[in-house]
Each structure stands twice: as C-alpha cells, then as structure tokens.
Amino acid sequence: MSEPEFSARGVKIARWPRSLTRAGEVRIEDGRLALLTSYGSEIDSAPVAAVRAGRPWFAKPDEAVATVNGTRYRLRLHKDGDAEREGDGTSEESGRFLAALRRAAGRR
C-alpha cells in the first residue's frame, strides 16, 4: 500500500446542516479522495478528477468545501492544538489539502 499524498486527521466533516463527525479523516491516495469517520468507515469517496473543492470567501481560514459525488461537505481541517487560535489568521492545512487535490487531479 502506498503512502497517501495527503492525510489529515481530526477533521470535522459536515454535510449541511448537520455534522457527520468531529474527528474524521480526509485522505488523498491513489487518485481518490476519501472522507472517513473517526472509526475508519467511509463517508464518501470519488476520483479526485471528479471532486470540486475550494475555500469560499465566507469560510474560516481552516475550512474548505468539497463536492464529492454531488454532495457538498464542509471540512474543518484544524489540528487539535490549533483548535481556536485567534489572531493567527492563516491555516496551512486547508491550503495543503487544496494543493494536494489539484496535484492529484493533474490541475496545477
């Protein structure tokens, strides 16, 4: 099994209007994006070429929105220690996620 191109744990995954998990995982591996619960069960997955993701203007710096198989998910990619650091203003994790998704899909 290969090393995932991107993996983030402790991710809050919500499908409007409700939260699906507060400690899930987002993984990009072998050309697929997978959203997993804290127990490792798959919430949803799709080839990265079919996934749309971005950071809306109204989102916090550690949030991203991904559309997987026609379903919109809100992803809060903070790390446990970074949970509510105000004044920081930037989150590298959501930027890394979006960049990894573009790379895996062949979009630069």
Q: What is the number of domains present in the chain?
A: 1
Which pTM value belongs to this model? 0.85
Handedness of CA 6, 81, 92, 67 (dihedral sign): positive
Please state, for a pLDDT cut of 70, what percent of the chain lies above it: 86
Place of tokens 């990009």: 28
**Residue 64, CB-side half-sphere exposure with 13 Å CA sphere:** 23
Write out the H or E segment, with its range, that includes residue 29. strand 18-29
90: in domain = yes
1: in domain = no
Write out the H or E segment, with its range, that includes residue 32. strand 32-36
CATH of the domain at 74: 2.30.29.30
Rounded Cα–Cα distance for residues 42 and 44 (Å):
6
Radius of gyration of the chain (CA): 13
Encode pLDDT of 43-93 as tens digits: 999 999 999 999 999 888 899 999 999 999 999 997 655 444 554 544 688
